């Protein structure tokens, strides 16, 4: 199992000791507080769970700007996206102060973390535009990631944090949410030395299923980590609990026991395409995975990125040795009528378009909403049933 990124061991910021955690909760009751944005709260959860090892808290402005521009912090740590706490204002807060960070996504806004404020900085419009364009590749406010990032405010609070909870993720998804620490531990107990990660924010259809199977076979891997995002998505995306149920059913019926680990992580989708793909690689390395599947339009949205930009960034922007995890590059996958199986289209040069079963996402959603199961070449019937029930309930 490979080492975490930038460290010999994982560095989760969650305060696991019950007495220490209780002491911090008591301290927080007497501290000045701010309510985090959903994005900043998700960053805290990821820091707490060890996914963002070796970061110790929120980045300052110099690090955020440097990461956006160069994919390195000011002191040289390779990192693909700014991990920041942006707020509308910081009245009553001063440098050197300890403050309570409240959770915007849980009723009553309980304390999520305690922060040591090391800097309070104002992000200029020029700096904000530069970061947004470098990370997301666009300034278009129609891009959901751009809209979310630019809506948080212009005051940046940075410094180390102690994380006191995993927000709603642990309570809402007790069978699925796992920290990087827990995933590493489970891989060790299963004896996995070589593991391939599959990122998803969608249900898994036949092409996704076969892609995981191809990667397992091609890499001679011990197992596959199906790792789904459990946080906020854009309107119209399928809720996490529906994705979870459909993926679990697929794994239960169509994969050998102990070959696939179905888990989830607590983060809001950035839709940052290539940059988010690199972030996915960083925190899958922290989970202990040796490989990450990166396919067509990985972490993309609309037409903002080229189909395989998320693969080429690893060749063009990730220096040799910056990451230990390797990328398993996947082409377009589709069901071949000629071969009666899902293939990568690049591996079937003798096929015409008519030889493949190709359905758009819009067409599939329309079928499901009308109670029509997609063809079995596209979706397993048991998965389609779960999705049809969801769409017909809308």
Structure tokens at 193: 């030395």
Q: Which of 96-100, 293-297, 336-340, 358-362 has the lowest mean pLDDT?
A: 358-362
Question: Cα(194)–Cα(223) distance, rounded to whole angstroms?
Answer: 7
Element holding 184 (H helix, E strand): helix 180-190
Alpha carbon 384 to its chain centroid, in Å, reads 24
DSSP letter for 59, please. -
CA dihedral defined by 204, 210, 214, 217, rounded to 10 degrees? 100
Q: Give CA–CA dist 191/377, Å, rounded.
A: 33
Share of the chain above pLDDT 90, in %: 82
Nearest C-alpha neighbor of 94 from the set 124, 116, 114, 61: 116
Closest Cα to residue 293, out of 184, 219, 379, 205?
Answer: 219
More confident residue, 359 or 26: 26
Nearest Cα neighbor of 163 from 52, 23, 13, 12 is: 13
How far apart, in whole angstroms, are the C-alpha atoms of residue 173 and residue 158?
30
Q: Name the residue among 222, 229, 215, 355 with its Cα closest to residue 293.
A: 215
> Tokens 């998803």 appear where?
200
Residue 227 · residue 265 · CB < 8 Å = yes
pLDDT recorded at residue 366: 84
Mean residue pLDDT of the chain comes to 95
Mean pLDDT of 249-257: 95
Q: How far apart are CA 326 and CA 7, in angstroms?
A: 18
Place of tokens 């903002």: 304
| Residue 23 pLDDT class (50, 70, 90 cuts) | very high
Separation CA 52–CA 81 (nearest Å): 11
Per-residue pLDDT of 108-167, as tens digits, reads 999 999 999 999 999 999 999 999 999 999 999 999 999 999 999 999 999 999 999 999
* Two tokens, residue 393: 């309930």
Confidence of residue 333 (pLDDT cuts 50, 70, 90): confident
Question: Under a CB-based contact definition with an 8 Å cutoff, are residues 16 and 251 in contact?
Answer: no
Q: Is the pLDDT of residue 359 over 70?
A: no
Q: Select from 3.40.50.1110, 3.40.50.620, 3.30.390.50, 3.40.640.10 the CATH code of 175-393.
A: 3.40.50.620
pLDDT at 65: 98
Give the Cβ contact number of residue 297 at 10 Å. Answer: 17
Decide if pLDDT at 200 tops 90: yes
Domain 18-170, classified CATH 3.60.40.10, yes or no:
no
**196 three-class SS:** strand
What percent of the chain is modeled with pLDDT above 70?
99
Tokens of 65: 């700007």
Instruction: Return the CA Rg of the chain.
Output: 21
SS3 for 252? helix
* pLDDT reading at 362 higher than 80: no
In the chain, CATH 3.40.50.620 covers 175-393
Whether the Cβ atoms of residue 27 and residue 95 lie closer than 8 Å to each other: no
Give the position of tokens 């199906």: 226
pLDDT value of position 394: 84
Q: Assess whether pLDDT exceeds 80 at residue 323.
A: yes
Two structure tokens written together for 219: 């890499």
Higher-confidence position of 81 and 358: 81
Report, as residue numbers or ranges, the catalytic residues: 201-202
Q: Is the pLDDT of residue 361 over 80?
A: no
pLDDT > 70? residue 360: no
CA neighbor of 151 nearest in space, from 208, 204, 75, 88:
88
Give the number of other Cβ atoms within 10 Å of residue 289's Cβ: 30
Contact assessment for residue 123 and residue 154, using Cβ atoms and an 8 Å cutoff? yes
Q: Average pLDDT, stretch 205-228?
A: 95
**Cα–Cα distance for residue pair 135/155, rounded to 1 Å:** 19
């Amino acid at each position: 199992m490979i080492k975490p990124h930038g460290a010999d061991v994982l560095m989760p910021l969650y305060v696991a000791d019950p007495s220490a955690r209780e002491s911090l909760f008591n301290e927080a009751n007497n501290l000045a507080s701010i309510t985090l944005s959903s994005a900043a709260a998700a960053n805290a959860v990821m820091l707490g769970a060890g996914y963002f090892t070796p970061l110790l808290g929120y980045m300052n402005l110099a690090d955020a700007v440097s990461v956006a521009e160069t994919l390195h912090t000011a002191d040289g740590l390779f990192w693909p996206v700014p991990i920041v706490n942006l707020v509308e204002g910081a009245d009553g807060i001063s440098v050197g102060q300890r403050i309570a960070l409240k959770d915007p996504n849980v009723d009553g806004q309980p304390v999520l973390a305690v922060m040591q404020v090391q800097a309070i900085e104002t992000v200029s419009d020029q700096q904000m535009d530069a970061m947004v364009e470098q990370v997301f590749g666009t300034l278009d406010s129609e891009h959901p990631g751009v809209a979310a990032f630019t809506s948080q405010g212009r005051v940046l609070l940075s410094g180390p944090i102690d994380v006191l909870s995993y927000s709603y993720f642990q309570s809402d998804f007790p069978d699925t949410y796992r920290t990087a620490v827990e995933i590493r531990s489970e891989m060790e107990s299963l004896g996995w030395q070589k593991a391939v990660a599959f990122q998803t924010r969608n249900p898994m259809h036949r092409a996704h299923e076969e892609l995981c199977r191809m990667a397992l076979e091609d890499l001679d891997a011990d197992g596959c980590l199906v790792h789904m995002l459990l946080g906020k998505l854009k309107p119209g995306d399928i809720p996490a609990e529906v994705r979870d149920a459909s993926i679990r059913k697929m794994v239960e019926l169509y994969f050998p026991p102990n070959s696939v680990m179905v888990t989830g992580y607590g983060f809001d989708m950035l839709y940052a395409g290539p940059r988010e793909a690199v972030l996915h690689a960083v925190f899958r390395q922290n989970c202990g995975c040796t490989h990450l599947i990166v396919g067509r339009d990985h972490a993309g949205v609309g037409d903002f990125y080229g189909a395989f930009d998320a693969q080429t960034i690893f060749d063009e922007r990730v220096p040799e040795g910056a990451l230990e995890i390797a990328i398993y590059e996947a082409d377009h996958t589709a069901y071949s009528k000629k071969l009666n199986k899902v293939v990568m289209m690049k591996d079937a040069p003798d096929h015409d378009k008519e030889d493949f079963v190709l359905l758009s996402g819009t067409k599939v959603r329309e079928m499901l909403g009308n109670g029509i199961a997609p063809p079995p070449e596209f979706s397993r019937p048991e998965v389609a049933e779960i999705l049809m029930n969801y769409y017909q309930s809308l």
